[in-house]
């Protein structure tokens, strides 16, 4: 099975500051990679997905961007955080409907 | 929008079987039914999936109706650690699938 690494586990950032969340995957090659966000008490919202290096599809227009510089590395970024960017950010890897999720990063924007 | 409908919450006694229903009346012929669960403050965990036959693994059993419009996830002997939100999702089996996680069913196992 795959192992998904995410860091940091928690992050507190001021409004207007930049963001970079990293996700790395072990145990597979050329996976489909995903970024989801979960606001407090809400469901999971798909933000981005990638089927290969340099290939990014955005699902929701917003203040965030994603990049995939290596096969098993997926990065979520923002130039200026908004209060509404607070949430639980989850990276996932998989094929078809079978996905493995990372432990997540809990982001609080103040 | 989620293509599935699940009860918002359910309770089950520890040691009993937990049966979680899901309706997916618009499922297409090449879509599978997947179940995930999310324990508080963790990422979702894959449980099981199926196309049309009943499936069983070490975690659970999946019963899919003959018309494939609904399914039931069965946790045969629920424990307190099974308390979680359970998501029923329909998706294809290949390529990049944009899984839609609805509100799920919040299952509480009571001692």
CB of A98 less than 8 A from some CB of B: yes
How many Cβ atoms sit within 10 Å of the Cβ of residue A85? 20
For residue A83, the SS3 value is: helix
The mean pLDDT of B10-38, rounded to a whole number, is 95
> A90 — phi, psi (to 5°)?
-120, 130
- Which residues 41-100 on chain B approach chain A with CB closer than 8 angstroms? 41-46, 49, 89, 91-100
Q: Is A61 exposed, middle or buried (0-12, 13-18, 19+ CB in 10 A)?
A: exposed
How many Cβ atoms sit within 10 Å of the Cβ of residue A41? 5
Reported as a single tens digit per residue, the pLDDT across B46-60 is: 999 999 989 999 999
Residue of chain B whose Cα is closest to the Cα of A44: B101
CB of A102 less than 8 A from some CB of B: yes
- Smallest Cβ–Cβ distance between A59 and the set B36, B45, B98 belongs to B98
Where does the pLDDT of residue A41 fall: very low under 50, low under 70, confident under 90, or very high at 90 and above? Answer: confident
Mean pLDDT across chain B, nearest whole number? 94
For residue A2, the SS3 value is: coil
């Amino acid at each position: 099975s795959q192992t998904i690494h995410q860091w940091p586990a928690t992050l507190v950032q001021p409004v207007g500051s930049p963001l970079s969340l990293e996700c790395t995957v072990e145990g597979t090659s050329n996976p489909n990679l995903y970024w989801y966000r979960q606001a407090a008490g809400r469901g999971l919202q798909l933000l981005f997905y990638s089927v290969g290096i340099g290939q990014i599809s955005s699902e929701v227009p917003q203040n965030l961007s994603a990049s995939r510089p290596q096969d098993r590395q997926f990065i979520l970024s923002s130039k200026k955080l908004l209060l509404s960017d607070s949430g639980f950010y989850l990276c996932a890897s998989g094929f078809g409907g079978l996905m493995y999720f990372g432990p997540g990063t809990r982001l609080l924007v103040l | 929008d989620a293509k599935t409908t699940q009860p918002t919450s359910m309770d089950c006694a520890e040691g009993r079987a937990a049966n979680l229903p899901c309706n997916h009346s618009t499922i297409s012929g090449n879509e599978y039914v997947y179940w995930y669960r999310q324990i508080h403050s963790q990422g979702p965990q894959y449980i099981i999936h199926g196309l049309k036959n009943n499936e069983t693994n070490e975690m659970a059993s999946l019963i899919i109706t003959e018309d494939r419009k609904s399914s039931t996830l069965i946790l045969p002997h629920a424990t307190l650690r099974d308390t979680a939100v359970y998501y029923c999702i329909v998706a294809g089996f290949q390529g990049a699938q944009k899984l839609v996680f609805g509100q799920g069913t919040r299952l509480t196992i009571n001692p």
